């Protein structure tokens, strides 16, 4: 079981991701010193508080993570509304849109 305070720390980082940029699950985990923590960040995103910009967190390939629901479509729409461009292969250029000042 993950320490509940880890989720709070993750949410604090996610809340700071600027509009028009993205961060990866692994990037957030490394920043917080959570070893092999990309999955922990993923679990936190499944339970994130309302109003948190969860849509700005993507996988290491620069893709939205597929879910059983249509959440990945909503995520893509929200990112595109912020000016993030997806490639023909549904990827985000992390060099161009990745959050560098984490």
Is 85 part of any domain? Answer: yes
Report pLDDT for 99. 97
Report pLDDT for 35. 85
Which residues of the chain are under the pLDDT cut of 70? 1-4, 67-69
Is 102 part of any domain? Answer: no
CATH no. for residue 26? Answer: 1.10.10.10
Residues 15 and 53: beta-carbon distance below 8 Å: yes
Report pLDDT for 1. 45
- pLDDT tens digits, 39-67: 999 999 988 899 999 999 999 999 997 76
Which H or E run contains 94? helix 94-97
What are the residues whose beta carbons fall under 8 Å from the beta carbon of 81, sequence distance 6 or more?
Answer: none
**Secondary structure letter of residue 66 according to DSSP:** P
Residues 40 and 74: beta-carbon distance below 8 Å: no
Report pLDDT for 70. 72
Distance, in Å, from the CA atom of 22 to the CA atom of 10, rounded to the nearest integer, reads 14
Is 12 part of any domain? Answer: yes
What is the total count of domains within the chain?
A: 1
Distance, in Å, from the CA atom of 15 to the CA atom of 69, rounded to the nearest integer, reads 23
Name the residue range of residue 57's domain. Answer: 4-97
């Amino acid at each position: 079981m993950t320490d509940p305070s880890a989720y709070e720390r993750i949410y604090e980082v996610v809340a700071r991701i600027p509009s028009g940029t993205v961060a990866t699950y692994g990037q957030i985990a490394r920043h917080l010193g959570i070893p092999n923590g990309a999955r922990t960040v993923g679990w936190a995103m499944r339970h994130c508080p309302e109003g948190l910009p969860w849509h700005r967190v993507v996988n290491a390939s620069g893709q939205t993570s597929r879910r059983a629901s249509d959440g990945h479509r909503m995520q893509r729409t929200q990112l595109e509304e912020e000016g993030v461009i997806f490639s023909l292969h549904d990827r985000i250029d992390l060099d161009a849109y990745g959050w560098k000042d984490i």
